[in-house]
Amino acid sequence: MELQSERATCAKCGKRFDPALEKCPHCGWQVPAGWVWPPATPEEEEAIAQKRKEARERIILTTGFEIEGRAISRYLAVVSSQEFLISDSPTQELEQATNNCLERLKDKAVKAGADAVIGVDIDYMKMEANAFMVVATGTAVRLQESE
C-alpha cells in the first residue's frame, strides 16, 4: 500500500508521494530535515488525513517474523517507542503504557510507509522502586500487494 497525493514530488525520481513520508517510497530519496512542501488545500489536507487514518488502521503488528499469506517486499526501518511511568501499583498503568507504545509504533510505521511491523518486542524495565519504562521495538516492512 502506498499513500498517494498530488503534492509531494520527489526531487530525485519526480514521482508523487504522501508528504508525511520521510522517504520517497519509489526511489528511497530521503526528504531533508526541515523540508517544507507547498501548503495543501483544505481538500488535500482532508484527503491525506483520511488516507493516513486508513493506513494506520491497516497496519499489522505481530510478534512473529512473517505475515500469513503475504510476502515481505521491503524492510524499511527498525521502529521503537518508549513510555516512562511512575507508579506504586503499576499493573494497570503498565497495560496502558504498553498500548500507548504500540499505538505510537503504528504511527511510526505509517510515517515510514510500512504495511506492517514484524518482530514486535516489548520490554519492561524497572528503573527505580516505583519508576518503570516500557519499550516497544519492531521492524517496519512493506508487503507485496495481495493477489
Given the rule CB under 5 A, which residues bind Zn ion?
A: 10, 12-13, 24, 26-27, 29
Q: Check: CB of residue 18 under 8 Å from CB of residue 3.
A: yes
* Distance (Å) of CA 104 to CA 2, 7, 74: 20, 26, 21
Q: In the complex with Zn ion, which residue's Cβ is closer, 38 or 42?
A: 38
Residue 23 CB, shortest distance to Zn ion, in Å, is 8
Q: In the complex with Zn ion, which residue's Cβ is closer, 24 or 117?
A: 24
Residue 5 CB, shortest distance to Zn ion, in Å, is 14
Question: Helix (H, G, I), strand (E, B), or coil: what is residue 124?
Answer: strand
Q: In the complex with Zn ion, which residue's Cβ is closer, 4 or 137?
A: 4
User: Within a 10 A sphere around the Cβ of 142, how many other Cβ atoms?
Assistant: 19
Q: In the complex with Zn ion, which residue's Cβ is closer, 24 or 143?
A: 24
Residue 136 CB, shortest distance to Zn ion, in Å, is 30
Q: How far apart are CA 116 and CA 66, in angstroms?
A: 10
Q: How far apart are CA 105 and CA 135, in angstroms?
A: 10
Residue 28 CB, shortest distance to Zn ion, in Å, is 7
